[in-house]
């Protein structure tokens, strides 16, 4: 394996790991004219330095939820493919759909030739074994022995093609597209499973607000995005099986999710990942693999990036589950927020490098290779507002534009007022510890006590994470005493999961309630993707599914707070409010709402109220509102009536 010498840039296309000589990498950093941050991760992450110079999974060198295990070697299967004339490497497909009908299909075929001699033959394209195109073609290779041909296939509206829908909105029919080149010497082919749908990102003026909307339409239908963020499922990628990916993605579907964000500090996921997402109806917000860092922009690095982005988009473009392409995770925010001391003195240089990498280099490739999808330079970002501000917004976290990432570990996490009414929240979350079954499998029995031992703390890679958890838990519960031993340790793990589940429930339900309202210009929230779905190892993290696939309490809660029909009661300024949220496409009539009031000392309600209402499709509406003082007066009256009724009954019995 090659080690890093002067130019440590490697493409995701080959995606082998590399042994890293950090002394040479350090020398490379020193000869540059300016520092490209971050130089090193926080000490609590126990990671490696200068990893932004290497085109390898950024989180493999540590993150605030994972260890530093930078692997090396070839971890995907190798095969030798022989051909006499040409090999079809990739096929991209862009459908034209109108009024639910497939009208045209643009198919681009990318080939590698065996020699520089032009090749003649017949190109045939099948859809579910029906021929939809055939023609004689002549193929001339470029200087690298590659060639591409694009075919526009029209008049397909007579085909019986059903539309693909995200989970909860409809079915996920998939069709087999097969491209075949043949001549007297050879037959080459490539088959893909594809689905047909339209996806639009709508950013338009919002009534009673100065900002713009940020929501998606699928097949012309607006929908609320419900889901989470995906990180690498294991530090050692070769251990990830198709069955494990199926388990995790099916868990997302079972929790009523329709979208996952493949986060930019991880991997471009395997083909099987996207195939399962296609089948389950999980839309994939696809980050390109740049995260929480700035990057070099010399020609060697940019050349590697061009190859990487081109290959990955051609590989993934045909999947109906792929929603959009985002250039990076939080890199716009890192500059505007002055995350590192070197930003201010190098601000103009960093801005220029950012534009050179994401706007001048990556964006043209994305738009050329896949004009059917939106490209977002970063997440979070402000859409058209970011463009007007020169691609780096003063505040990429503006609640009136684009998407936001929201974290707050200081205010009351069980109070809805803590959380914003942003247009789309693509990251938010709270930590918890995994179950005792998980954490005990990687620790020793002497560590199963509270307060936490150093061995347990070793797995906490979020700065001040344990302190934040303890403070948040203590707002609502009593922390275990040091004398409680094993039971105290189990109680702490359990309390952390309660804290996380209720916090994310509170936050997620507020976002869903906010989809139909504007308050002080904010609102019309149309997406909630909490951080994060899965774990990379057994440790405290923001995940709702533990390493290995066991659901945390949060995931059971998610199944409810992402349900298609949500009853969401809450208190605001001394008033009890009940909101009903529907993702359903049909209106609901004559629904019945039952309000029950209980005393702490009894499971028998002391007051009941029944009301009926109608529910509009795909919306949120308040169906009950009552001042708490007035409600308690009604409760007292109800109790008095009940007591009087009991006394009368007793009197009648005695008589």
Catalytic residue among 427, 507, 509, 546: 427
- From 92, 52, 323, 96, select the one nearest 192 (Cα to Cα): 92
Catalytic residue among 330, 332, 522, 546: 330
Residue 626 bears catalytic tag: no
What is the distance of C-alpha 426 from the center of its chain?
7
CB atoms within 10 A of CB 151: 17
**E strands of 10-53, at which residues?**
none
What are the structure tokens assigned to 292, written together?
A: 């929480």
d(CA 408, CA 249) in angstroms, rounded, equals 28
d(CA 600, CA 603) in angstroms, rounded, equals 8
Q: By CB neighbour count within 10 A (0-12 exposed, 13-18 middle, 19+ buried), where does 136 fall?
A: exposed
Which residues are CB-neighbours of 425 under 8 A, at least 6 positions away?
403, 404, 405, 406, 511, 525, 527, 528, 529
User: Residue 268 to residues 11, 13, 193, 308, 315: CA-CA distances in angstroms?
Assistant: 12, 10, 19, 10, 10
Residue 437 bears catalytic tag: no
Phi, psi of 246 (to 5 degrees): -60, -45
Sheet holding 565-572, edge to edge: 565-572, 575-582, 619-627
Task: Give the DSSP H or E segment for 527.
Answer: strand 527-530
Three-state secondary structure call for residue 651: helix
DSSP for 226-275, please give it: EEEEE--S-SSGGG--HHHHHHHHHHHHHTT--EEEE-TTS-PPPHHHHH
User: Residue 259 to residues 56, 107, 286, 360, 654: CA-CA distances in angstroms?
Assistant: 25, 26, 11, 29, 65
Q: Which residues are identified as catalytic? A: 330, 427
């Amino acid at each position: 394996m090659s080690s890093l010498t002067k130019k440590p840039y490697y493409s995701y296309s080959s995606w082998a790991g590399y042994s890293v000589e950090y002394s040479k990498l350090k020398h490379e950093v020193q000869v540059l004219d300016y520092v490209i941050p971050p130089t090193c991760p926080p000490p609590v992450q126990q990671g490696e330095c200068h990893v932004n110079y290497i085109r390898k999974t950024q989180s493999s060198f540590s993150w605030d939820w994972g260890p530093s295990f930078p692997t090396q070697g070839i971890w995907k299967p190798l095969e030798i493919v022989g051909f006499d004339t040409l090999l079809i490497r990739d096929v991209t497909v862009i459908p034209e759909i109108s009024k639910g009908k497939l009208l045209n299909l643009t198919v681009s075929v990318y080939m590698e030739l065996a020699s520089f001699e032009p090749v003649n033959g017949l190109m045939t394209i099948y859809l579910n074994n029906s021929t939809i195109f055939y023609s004689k073609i002549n193929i001339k290779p470029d200087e690298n022995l590659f060639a591409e041909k694009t075919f526009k296939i029209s008049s397909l509206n007579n085909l019986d093609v059903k539309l693909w829908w995200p989970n909860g909105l409809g079915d996920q029919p998939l069709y087999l597209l097969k491209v075949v080149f043949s001549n007297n010497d050879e037959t080459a082919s490539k088959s893909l499973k594809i689905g047909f749908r339209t996806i639009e990102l709508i950013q338009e003026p919002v009534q009673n607000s100065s900002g713009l909307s940020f929501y998606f339409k699928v097949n012309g239908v607006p929908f609320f995005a419900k889901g989470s963020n995906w990180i690498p499922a294991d530090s050692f990628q070769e251990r990830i099986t198709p069955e494990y990916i199926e388990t995790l993605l099916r868990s997302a579907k079972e929790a009523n999710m329709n979208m996952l964000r493949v986060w930019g500090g991880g991997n471009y996921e395997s083909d099987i990942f996207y195939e399962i997402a296609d089948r389950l109806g999980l839309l994939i917000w696809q980050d390109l693999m740049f995260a929480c860092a700035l990057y070099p922009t010399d020609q060697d690095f940019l050349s590697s990036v061009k190859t990487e982005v081109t290959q990955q988009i051609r590989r993934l473009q045909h999947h109906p589950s792929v929603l959009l392409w985002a250039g990076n995770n939080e890199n716009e925010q890192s500059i505007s927020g002055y995350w590192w001391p070197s930003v201010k003195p190098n601000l103009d240089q960093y801005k220029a490098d950012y534009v050179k990498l994401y706007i001048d280099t990556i964006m043209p490739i994305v738009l050329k290779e896949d004009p059917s999808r939106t490209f977002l330079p970063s997440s979070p970002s402000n859409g058209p507002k970011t463009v007007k501000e020169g691609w780096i917004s003063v505040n990429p976290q503006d609640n009136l534009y684009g998407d936001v990432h929201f974290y707050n570990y200081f205010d009351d996490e069980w109070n809805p007022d803590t959380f914003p009414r942003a247009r789309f929240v693509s990251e938010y979350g709270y930590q918890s510890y995994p179950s005792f079954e998980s954490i005990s499998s990687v620790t020793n029995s002497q560590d199963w006590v509270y307060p936490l031992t150093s061995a347990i703390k070793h797995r906490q890679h979020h700065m001040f994470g344990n302190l934040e958890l303890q403070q948040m838990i203590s707002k609502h519960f009593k922390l275990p005493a040091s004398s409680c031993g094993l039971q105290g340790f189990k109680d702490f793990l359990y309390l952390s999961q309660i804290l996380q589940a209720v916090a994310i429930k509170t936050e997620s339900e507020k976002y869903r309630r906010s989809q139909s309202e504007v308050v002080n210009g904010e609102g019309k929230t149309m997406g909630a993707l909490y951080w994060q779905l899965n774990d990379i190892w057994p440790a405290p993290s923001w995940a709702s599914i533990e390493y290995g696939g066991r659901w945390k309490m949060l995931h059971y809660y998610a199944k409810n707070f992402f349900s298609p029909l949500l009853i969401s009661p809450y208190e605001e300024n001394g008033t009890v409010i009940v909101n009903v949220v529907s993702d359903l496409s049909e209106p609901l009539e004559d629904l019945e709402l039952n309000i029950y009031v209980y005393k702490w000392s009894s499971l028998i309600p002391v007051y009941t109220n029944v009301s009926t209402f109608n529910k509009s499709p795909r919306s949120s509406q308040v169906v009950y509102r009552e001042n708490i003082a007035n409600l308690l007066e009604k409760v007292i009256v109800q109790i008095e009536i009940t007591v009087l009724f009991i006394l009368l009954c007793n009197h009648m019995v005695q008589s």
